[in-house]
A and B are shown apart, each in its own frame.
Chain A
Amino acid sequence: MKLFEMNHVKKSFDGNIVLKNISLSVQEGEVVAIIGPSGSGKSTLLRCATLLETMDDGDLYYLGEPAAKSEGGHAIYAPNAELKKIERQFGLVFQNFNLFPHYSVMKNIMDAPIHVQKRDRAEVQKEAEALLQKMGLSDRADYYPCQLSGGQQQRVSIARALAMKPKILFFDEPTSALDPELTGEILKVITELAKEKMTMVIVTHEMNFAKDVSDRMIFMDQGVIVEELSPEELFASTNQRTKEFLGKYHILNH
């Protein structure tokens, strides 16, 4: 089943075209990695998908429900009430975590399920404890974000997103703010989620990780999808631009 679909997305900032006619769909249980140089539009794509940015033109669907449809060259968004419902389908993990600093770890995870989804507190608490255990942070439930390492904070933010039970989880460069040692912690967590068949779209600069974890890789450059292939195919690609980009990483990592 198609969980997510966007068609012919266009987006520009002050005349600067960032996304040129991008189409992308994600099946249930699939892990898609998006790679590409800085400024290629990866993050903007993710921000359009998660409704943090409005598309200039294009369609956007979650589980077949339209969040926006292209009409006469413009993206027409669904009414706010509809969008609120659609927002429940996805979660987003930020590069800078964006945890709520005044809430404890536990409250960061539990607050939205209780006050947004109006779920039973006891039930949410049980799930939150299970999530923390999965993240290896059971002993940090009462800590505040400022008392945690970057890797721990990112694990809390993943738990916070998962507590909302999203159908699909987006990651916007989840390890870019972390040093290599902490990066490993996060990649391990995401790999675990992939094994559990969590549907994920991951924007990342970690090529080896992307290759290992994803079912499909998308290489973006200058606002277009250059190639969309399985990891093996992409790394064997004969496309000049792809080779050039991957070649730079190859040099960096060896």
Chain B
Amino acid sequence: MSVEVMIQQLAGGMAKTIMIFVLTLLFSLPLGLVISFGRMSKNVLIRGITKAYISIMRGTPLMLQLLVVYFGPYYIFGVNISHGYRAYAVVIAFAINYAAYFAEIYRGGIESMSKGQYEAAKVLGYTKAQTFFKIILPQVIKRILPSVTNEVITLVKDTSLAFSIAYVEMFTTAKAIAASQKSMAPLAAAAIFYYIFNFLVAAVMELWEKKLGYYS
């Protein structure tokens, strides 16, 4: 197999890896914020449920969660799993898992804000929504950015876990080619891909951090 053909085959996997990555962030970042509100809720029931949710999501392997999300509909409800469900299962499992981690990061950031910011906003007549989105959240984002960067970098590598339900992303493709060609080259290519991907992620996040560095 020529290098071009190998790259071509890997490229399809890369696109799917990037898709998992983008969709997971798209859903888990807002979902995490909602869960963090639940976690900080005054309502004991809501707080208890979100706490248990976070505990389970963080306390069990992501690979196992993937299997549950993918096979659960069949084993539990007897629903036949369509072929197309695989991609949904991957994104659902990743999104609900990462949302739990993001929720705790948001909570840390929100709870670190001084009461004075809320009070100043209240006296100036800002609504609760305005206070949160204009005053609190922008400052929270600045504070949590380094922790978020950590999670996002982990996510890039975690996408390879989609392999466990045979979703053909980058890692699955590389492994298949390596086995059929008896060659390390596809795995090396995959490694380079993940590394460059994360290098870019880190660079973008650093740039963002710098952009927010105009105040302290």
A residues neighboring B (CB under 8 Å): 50-52, 84, 87-88, 90-92, 94, 96, 98-102, 111-112, 115-117, 144-146, 160-161, 164
- Residue of A at shortest CB range from B135? A100
Instruction: Please classify the interface of chain B as helix (H, G, I), strand (E, B), loop, or mixed, using the class held by over half of its residues.
Output: helix
Selecting from B74-82, B123-131, B148-156, the interface stretch reads: B123-131
B120 near A98: Cβ-Cβ < 8 Å: yes
Residue in B124, B130, B138 with the greatest tally of chain A CB atoms within 10 Å: B124
Tell me which residues from 87 to 128 in chain B have a Cβ below 8 Å from any Cβ of chain A: 114, 116-117, 119-120, 122-126
Bound together, the chains give a CA A202 to CA B119 distance in angstroms of 18
Expressed in whole angstroms, the Cα–Cα distance for A94 and B130 within the complex equals 20
A51 vs B176: C-alpha distance when bound (angstroms): 66
- CB of B119 within 8 A of CB of A94, answer yes
> A111 — nearest CB in chain B belongs to which residue?
B134
A164 near B120: Cβ-Cβ < 8 Å: no
B85 at the interface (CB under 8 A from A): no
Please give, as numbers and ranges, the residues of chain A lying within 8 Å of B117 by CB-CB distance.
Answer: 98, 100
Select which of B123, B139, B142 is within 8 A of A91 by beta carbon: B123
Q: How many residues of B contact A (CB 8 A)?
A: 19
Q: What distance in Å separates the Cβ of B110 from its nearest Cβ neighbour in chain A?
A: 15
Show 28 A/B contacts (Cβ-Cβ < 8 Å), sorted by A.
A50-B123, A52-B119, A52-B122, A87-B122, A87-B123, A88-B125, A90-B123, A92-B123, A94-B119, A94-B120, A98-B114, A98-B116, A98-B117, A100-B120, A101-B139, A101-B216, A102-B139, A102-B215, A112-B126, A115-B126, A115-B130, A115-B134, A116-B124, A116-B125, A145-B215, A146-B216, A160-B124, A164-B124
